Chain A
Amino acid sequence: MIAALPMDEPTLISLQAMLLRSFLIAVIGFPLLFVGSRLAARVARRNFTEHHAFIVSKLVFYIGCILILVTILLNLNFNLTAILGTAGIATVAISFAAQTSLSNLISGLFLLAEKPFGVGDMILVNGTRGLVLSIDLLSVKLRTLDNLYVRVPNETIIKSDVTTITRFPIRRMDLDVAVAYKENLRRVLEILKEIAEQNVYSLDEPAPLILVKEFGSSSINILLGVWFEKANFLLLKNAIVLDIKERFEREGIEIPFPHVTVYTGSATTPFPVRVGEKGSSSDPE
């Protein structure tokens, strides 16, 4: 057993002074740090987004904490070299274990810098469509249209194709319209142009796109692309389809369903058809 050596008075006084200094550093430093991080966030919020402010606030706070702790340790005459050495080894070990998290963190920083989308945007990533609720350090949170909560790691977003649906103020809605081969195609195109012009949600400019796409197997397929303000997607979608249906019915334009026409070997000879009652001699069974 090692007996505790009595401290002489100058050592005791200097120890007390060191402890007092450390205590004062902590008591003054942490509140100042807290205020400083809030101020930094406020400045960042004025010039950038809310999430930039969040990151700046956290960075200032954590760096400040480390500085205060290092100051306290230095004040208490700790040998930081040994601590840093241990920390270095620990960092390597933690890095291997936290690869994914670090990747997400770094991806998050890149996302914040690149700004492919913001909070409130509708995005499509890996087949998931949702409203961006927040862009955090490790992940992006989405709310889908049927009110599901989806967490997408930042690394996934960096590595995937992300479509920001609401990036631009206007969009084009493309509709495939099929008409029967017997219809007067020029008249159909004229009617589609009128429908687009008369729809209240469709913009006059950019002008609607009307394109004959192809001669399909059952119909002539036409692409109708109307431009609209992004907030009116659902209103336009229903309205334009109803307008087309009603107008085609009024004009007697057929929208064919897929069908197959069978010939008996030549283009004009029909199949012979005989109608009889079940159980009669005409019934083949």
Chain B
Amino acid sequence: MLAQPAWLPEIWRPHSPAVGDAAHWCCGALELVLCRHGDDWLVRSAPRSDESFGNYGVTIAPEGQGDTKGAERWAFDRAVDRFFVKPAMPDRPVVVRPYDPLHVPQHSEVLFYVSIPLWMQVHVLDGRDQSVALGSYPSLPISGIWFGDPMSGMLCYSLKSRALRDLSGFVVVAHRAVCPVTIRNTCPETLLIEKFCLDVAHLGVFAGAERLWAQPVTLHRFDSERPVRAEYGRSAPTQAGECVVLAPPARRPEAGLLKRAFASDAFRLF
């Protein structure tokens, strides 16, 4: 079970609806309705309107007020009385496309922030604090994008980014994690970035006092001949301050792995 500092928002904590009651869990464009019926749990996801994206929270509705039509039913052989939701990175790599093409001059290093929409994993807990995962739901509908040429490549999620240079431009929302991305261009040529791919399986989710974070990523371009080297941080960024790990990375990056990142070089970043 996760560490529980006092400032951790309510939506990341366990909840115990009574049998028959419905818990409405909302974050981003996602609403989850969870009901207990004896030893069974019913889970239904529903989209929310755009205007509600900034609001998040959990409410418990009395018996009979939870619409579980179309819900998935989980049957347990023991008493499972609590649920919690854990944010996680998307289940595919993410292609980040700045709204405007970004030029990084030669021998420069720039830092900008990318906000990654998260997936919400629903877990239930039994009396011995053993958790069972019930499902994973995207907090925002994200379109797909193919990273590579039409004959080979990989399917990713598409993320348009303003590539902000500081955090003041970000609205604090619970369904996105901020990832500091440093681009280091030690090449004697200007680097034009139209898009790059982040393998978010190497990123975890950290809860800071104000917002959610992912580890920092550094993309190092040495020259036009060698592929770009990607380095994933091992812990929360320093900008986050005191943090608690909500979800560790799904996969550790392989040591010494050199991969290409940018579309101009083609194509991947790992």
A interface residues, Cβ below 8 angstroms from B = 168-170, 197, 199-206, 227, 229
Contact = CB atoms under 8 A, between A and B. Distances in A.
A161 to B, nearest CB: 19
Interface in B179-196: none
B152 A169 contact: yes
The 6 A-B residue pairs whose C-beta atoms are closest, nearest first, are: A204-B158, A204-B145, A205-B145, A203-B144, A170-B146, A168-B151
Contacts of B147: 205
Contacts of B150: 168, 170, 206, 227
Contacts of A197: 143
B140 to A, nearest CB: 12
Interface of B: 95, 141, 143-147, 150-153, 155, 158
A169 B152 CA distance: 7
27 contacts: A168-B150, A168-B151, A168-B152, A169-B146, A169-B152, A169-B153, A170-B153, A170-B155, A197-B143, A199-B143, A201-B144, A202-B144, A203-B143, A203-B144, A203-B145, A203-B158, A204-B143, A204-B144, A204-B145, A205-B95, A205-B145, A205-B146, A205-B158, A206-B146, A206-B150, A227-B146, A227-B150
B139 to A, nearest CB: 15
Contacts of A201: 144
Q: For the complex, would chain A's binding face be called helix, strand, loop or mixed by DSSP majority? A: loop
A16 B158 CA distance: 81
Nearest to B157: A204
A206 B144 CA distance: 10
Nearest to A201: B144
B155 A229 contact: yes
Contacts of A227: 146, 150
A169 to B, nearest CB: 7
Contacts of B95: 205
A57 B145 CA distance: 43
Q: A169, A197, A205, A206: which has the most chain B beta carbons within 10 Å?
A: A205
B154 to A, nearest CB: 8
Contacts of A205: 95, 145-147, 158
A205 B160 CA distance: 12
A206 B148 CA distance: 9
Contacts of B144: 200-204, 229
Contacts of A170: 146, 150, 153, 155
B146 A202 contact: no
Q: A169, A197, A227: which has the most chain B beta carbons within 10 Å?
A: A169
Contacts of A203: 143-146, 155, 158
Given A203-B158, A227-B146, 11 more contacts: A170-B153, A170-B155, A197-B143, A200-B141, A201-B144, A202-B144, A203-B155, A204-B143, A204-B145, A205-B146, A205-B147
Contacts of B158: 203-205
Nearest to A197: B143
Contacts of A202: 143-144
Nearest to B159: A204
A199 B152 CA distance: 23
A272 B144 CA distance: 57
Contacts of B152: 168-169
A232 to B, nearest CB: 9
B239 to A, nearest CB: 29
A227 B146 CA distance: 9
A169 B145 contact: no
